[in-house]
A and B are shown apart, each in its own frame.
Chain A
Amino acid sequence: MNRSWYNLIWINKKARLGIIIVSSFILIAAVGPIFFEDPNAYIGTPLLEPSFVHLFGTTGQGQDVFAQTIAGARSTLFIGLGTGFMIVLLGLIVGSLSGYFGRRIDNILSLIINIFLLIPGLPLMVIIAAWLPPGPFSMMGVLVFTGWAWQARVLRSQVLSLRERDYVNAAIITGESNIKVIIYQIWPQMLSLIMASFIGATVYAIGAQVGLEFLGLGDVDKVTWGNNLYWATNDLALLTGSWWTFVPTGLCIALVSFGLTLINYGIDEISNPRLLSERIVKSRLPNLFNRNGSTPVARELFGK
């Protein structure tokens, strides 16, 4: 990843907004919990509305919603990013083996990938998570097991096309080992896709994690975003009208996922030359470029 690549991302408006949103949440997750002793502590009357004393009000069990929202960020983001990393690693390994070696290995691995894609995710996660002792490692294991296939499929097709390039064949002919060709010749050429994969997997991991915890399959004593929502419904937030017990957490989840998606849009625009060149053309020739026509005609572009 060289400097200009990083600059390109920063210049992209969508990606910049995404980076700002996501890094602020990471900062909050890292620093925020220091200011609260115990987010589970009983600090006042249950179900107080938001006020200056308790910014986001209190939960049905008299805990501070603001403290819980901040504390939840740490564990949810940590598991989300960690799982995202593991999913990409597994997806990259399976995808590379499948795409690079082809033939029988590809047939078998592709079949496994397709099976995992066909089996509905949430019920599968539930039956595995229900057997495991609740905890961050069980959670990560379940999420990786059910989430790797999509990324493997995306990465496989990229490896498949890079495999046919001349420079890869040249490297093979010079006697490089297969593993070295994959790691040193192929992977560096698909960094932007790997990055996009990591972000996509993280979005998935956050959403799925929150869903499982909402079902009560996480460690319900821990403060996480999913558990906040689990306890909010368990304390009948909807029947008592206490919207403040679930809205802050829900908005935080949405903002983080949205921020990550924005970064991915940015990466997509940068790594897809068609989108990029069109943007440049558009910025240089405002309002002259008729995209509904088949091919831009010089007369159309530059006037009569």
Chain B
Amino acid sequence: MNTSVKYLLKRLGIYAISGWAAVTLNFFLPRMMPGDPVSVMFASFRGKLKPEAIEALKQTFGFTDEPLLNKYISYLSHLLNGELGISTAYFPEEVSSIILSSLGWTLLLVGISLVVSFIIGSLIGMIIAWRRDGKLDSILPPSFSFISSFPYFFTAMLLLYFFGFKLGWFPIRHAYNSNLIPGFNIEFIVSCLHHAFLPASTLIFMGIGGWMLQMRNNMIGTISTDYISFAKSKGLSQKRIMIWYAAKNAILPIITSFGMAIGFILSGTILTEIIFSYPGQGYILYQAVQAQDYQLMQGIFLTTTLSVLAANWLIDILVLILDPRTRK
């Protein structure tokens, strides 16, 4: 078999095991906890659902007197059908439909901020590494490492306070103007971008530093190699060597670290969404925590984990395509 295919299958195996571990953790967690978590879990349904309906829910999620293994298997089969339970915070909506309707907003934020911060960060990193004695190289790295010390949501609060509250340039909550009907028209898209601007800026601003430092360090490594000296001795222009010789090789290892970054950015996005009441995963997670809605919390944990795993696999494929050294 082709080695690249073999590699991708091996990675898929690791992601499958991780996904299974997350599912299993989700199943056992409420059962391992001190006290009587099951009654806590269903207490919030009291007065909302009939006792028979609560019994049926317990059956669905394996909170019965059956042997553990049977419960586990029935839990897995319900999961495969996409059943994540009923939310108490958004009663009587199903957890899966709440998550589905909010997942898009989070993907939008994570996607925009990951790409933009990566591009800006690696461009700056490339330039400051190329001019290592320059002023920018002594100013930017320390300033950005100070900025990255801020908690995400604190940066979000500052931006919201100045640009949303004080200056009023941007809306301070929600994902689009509520007078508009969602649809594929310019007015709606502009409203979406206007609302996403501050949350995305928070994430981009916090993300640039990491990419910049990585790119700078990798560039310094490639700059000192012989093929760069050779390119110089051929008399190629500085710009061309910087971009097409040095940066091209320096950027590949960074793309590999995209996978790690996604989990991290997701955590930042969750906190940022809460500040801006941006209706993605973070916002509903906050509602779930406030209402002690365990089904919704666990549903969000599962979907975010599976999304991160899927994203990691896509990145593996991307690296294979971009880096000829990985294909043999």
A97 to B232 Cα, complex, angstroms: 48
The residue in chain A whose Cβ has the minimal distance to the Cβ of B37 is A131
Q: Of A216, A250, A261, which one neighbours B289 at CB under 8 angstroms?
A: A216
Q: Of A211, A254, A257, which one neighbours B267 at CB under 8 angstroms?
A: A211
Tell me whether B151 and A122 are in contact (CB under 8 A). Answer: no
Closest chain A CB from B226 CB (angstroms): 5
* Residue of A216, A238, A255 most packed against chain B (CB within 10 A): A238
A114 to B35 Cα, complex, angstroms: 32
Q: How many residues of A contact B (CB 8 A)?
A: 47
Any chain A CB within 8 A of the CB of B172?
Answer: yes
Any chain B CB within 8 A of the CB of A181?
Answer: no
Tell me which residues across on chain A come within 8 A of B297, comparing CB atoms.
Answer: 126-127, 130
Any chain B CB within 8 A of the CB of A22?
Answer: no
Tell me which residues across on chain B come within 8 A of A253, comparing CB atoms.
Answer: 149-151, 154
Question: Contacting chain A: which of B14-22, B88-96, B119-127?
Answer: B14-22
Tell me which residues across on chain A come within 8 A of B15, comparing CB atoms.
Answer: 118
Q: How many residues of B contact A (CB 8 A)?
A: 63
Tell me whether A126 and B224 are in contact (CB under 8 A). Answer: no
Closest chain A CB from B102 CB (angstroms): 14
Any chain B CB within 8 A of the CB of A196?
Answer: no
Chain A, 268-304, contact with B by CB distance < 8 Å: what is the 0/1 string?
A: 0000000000000000000000011110000000000
Given that A118-B263, A123-B304, A243-B161 are known contacts, is A211 also in contact with B29, CB under 8 Å in the complex?
no
Tell me whether A119 and B151 are in contact (CB under 8 A). Answer: no
Any chain A CB within 8 A of the CB of B109?
Answer: no
Chain A interface secondary structure, helix, strand, loop or mixed?
A: helix
Closest chain B CB from A98 CB (angstroms): 16
Given that A217-B289, A291-B132 are known contacts, is A128 also in contact with B305, CB under 8 Å in the complex?
no
Any chain B CB within 8 A of the CB of A81?
Answer: no
Chain B, 283-307, contact with A by CB distance < 8 Å: what is the 0/1 string?
A: 0011001101010011011001100
Tell me which residues across on chain B come within 8 A of A124, comparing CB atoms.
Answer: 25, 301, 305
Closest chain B CB from A257 CB (angstroms): 4
Any chain A CB within 8 A of the CB of B247?
Answer: no
The residue in chain B whose Cβ has the minimal distance to the Cβ of A217 is B289
Any chain A CB within 8 A of the CB of B278?
Answer: no
Tell me whether A254 and B271 are in contact (CB under 8 A). Answer: no
Any chain B CB within 8 A of the CB of A11?
Answer: no
A49 to B29 Cα, complex, angstroms: 45
A127 to B33 Cα, complex, angstroms: 11
Tell me whether A214 and B263 are in contact (CB under 8 A). Answer: no
Any chain B CB within 8 A of the CB of A109?
Answer: no
Given that A121-B263, A294-B224 are known contacts, is A215 also in contact with B289, CB under 8 Å in the complex?
yes
Chain A, 95-131, contact with B by CB distance < 8 Å: what is the 0/1 string?
A: 0000000000000000100110111111110111011
A6 to B312 Cα, complex, angstroms: 41
Tell me which residues across on chain B come within 8 A of A255, comparing CB atoms.
Answer: 149
Closest chain A CB from B114 CB (angstroms): 14
Would you list which residues of chain B between 214 and 240 have a CB under 8 Å from chain A?
223-226, 228-229, 232
Tell me whether A122 and B161 are in contact (CB under 8 A). Answer: no
The residue in chain A whose Cβ has the minimal distance to the Cβ of B230 is A294
Chain A, 243-267, contact with B by CB distance < 8 Å: what is the 0/1 string?
A: 1001100100111011001000100
Q: Of A111, A123, A265, A293, which one neighbours B300 at CB under 8 angstroms?
A: A123
A254 to B150 Cα, complex, angstroms: 5
Any chain B CB within 8 A of the CB of A207?
Answer: yes
A57 to B322 Cα, complex, angstroms: 55
Would you list which residues of chain B between 96 and 148 have a CB under 8 Å from chain A?
132, 145-146
Any chain B CB within 8 A of the CB of A132?
Answer: yes
Closest chain B CB from A50 CB (angstroms): 15
Would you list which residues of chain B between 153 and 189 have a CB under 8 Å from chain A?
153-154, 157-158, 160-161, 164-166, 172
Given that A115-B17, A127-B29, A130-B294 are known contacts, is A211 also in contact with B260, CB under 8 Å in the complex?
no
Closest chain A CB from B146 CB (angstroms): 5
A271 to B25 Cα, complex, angstroms: 39
Given that A118-B312, A130-B297, A261-B149 are known contacts, is A233 also in contact with B275, CB under 8 Å in the complex?
yes
Tell me whether B149 and A254 are in contact (CB under 8 A). Answer: yes
Any chain B CB within 8 A of the CB of A48?
Answer: no
Tell me which residues across on chain A come within 8 A of B35, comparing CB atoms.
Answer: 133
Tell me which residues across on chain A come within 8 A of B22, comparing CB atoms.
Answer: 119
Closest chain A CB from B239 CB (angstroms): 14
A291 to B309 Cα, complex, angstroms: 41
Tell me whether B305 and A123 are in contact (CB under 8 A). Answer: yes
Tell me which residues across on chain A come within 8 A of B259, comparing CB atoms.
Answer: 118
Q: 12 A-B pairs, CB-CB below 8 angstroms?
A: A115-B21, A118-B308, A124-B25, A126-B301, A127-B294, A210-B151, A214-B151, A215-B285, A238-B161, A250-B158, A294-B224, A294-B228
A interface, CB within 8 angstroms of B: 111, 114-115, 117-124, 126-128, 130-133, 203, 207, 210-211, 214-217, 229, 233, 237-239, 241, 243, 246-247, 250, 253-255, 257-258, 261, 265, 291-294
A118-B259, A118-B305, A215-B285 are known contacts; what are 19 more A-B pairs with Cβ within 8 Å?
A114-B18, A115-B21, A117-B263, A118-B309, A122-B266, A123-B305, A126-B289, A127-B26, A127-B298, A128-B29, A132-B34, A203-B149, A210-B151, A233-B274, A238-B161, A239-B172, A250-B150, A254-B149, A254-B150
